[in-house]
Amino acid sequence: MQQTFYKYQGTGNDFVMIDNRHGAFDKQDKERVTFLCNRRFGIGADGLILIENHPELDFEMIYFNADASKSFCGNGARCAVAFAKQIGIIEKETTFLAIDGVHKAIIDQGIVKLLMGDVDLVERHANHTFLNTGSPHHVQIEENIALFDIKTLGAKIRYGAPYNEEGSNVNFVKKIDDSTFRVRTYERGVEDETLSCGTGVTAVAIAMHNTGLTPEHVINLNVEGGKLQVSFDVIDNKYSNIWLIGPATLVFKGNI
């Protein structure tokens, strides 16, 4: 079977994008998903995204991690918005469905602003913070972030207590100044460091504010693949109007 695909990236977080409005791609075929995401034998990506019809909204985004597990992906959602614009589903604004619920987004000159879900609970622990921004995230301050073996240390935390089988994404953070933080992320489902993680930087921005490491409500996040920004409102430690902002770029189109 020949499959037309598009390759997108958002600050180095890369995705295979498929227009599945006619339902030709079998969503139960996990082997196909992992093959297409394989960097040596397939196209290569951190995840695969299907764009499908929705009866009331502009579209539905079906997201698979590279291992064919499902989750929400912030950068993937931003790239899905850019792809939806490219194939003529939307123009500048959109409302669409993802696994964690309905999202709104705005796209202008290659920059996608994605409205994330509200965050009502931030768990503070002795050496880390835990919260869910559409996907679970462990956030940990580390000064020597440049020297860290992210894959080894991230995997140890991801599979360790209290996360066990379900696991968690793991974000290592260094403060640059009150409005800027450097972030490196180990992503479950990819089982390695990724160059960027949208739900991860969202979690970092909220965690840094919640623990008093910044008073700012607009946070710049330096990831390995570029720069992202997160803004939010907060009342009584409840975070709303959370926007993930950054570029989403078409890399190439092909057939496989």
Distance CA 203, CA 240 (A): 13
Instruction: Please confirm, yes or no, whether 197 is among the known catalytic residues.
Output: yes
CB atoms within 10 A of CB 20: 18
Catalytic residue among 73, 90, 139, 205: 73
Residue 162: cis peptide before it, omega within 30 degrees of 0? yes
Whether residue 70 contacts residue 77, with contact meaning beta carbons closer than 8 Å, is answered with no
Three-class HEC string of 175-206: EEECCEEEEEEEECCCCEEECCCHHHHHHHHH
Cα first-last separation, the chain: 8
Helix, coil or strand: residue 237: coil
Instruction: Please confirm, yes or no, whether 79 is among the known catalytic residues.
Output: no
Backbone phi, then psi, for 154, in 5-degree steps? Answer: -65, -45
Catalytic residue among 90, 112, 197, 207: 197
Pairing of strands 59-65, 93-98: parallel
Residues forming the active site: 73, 197
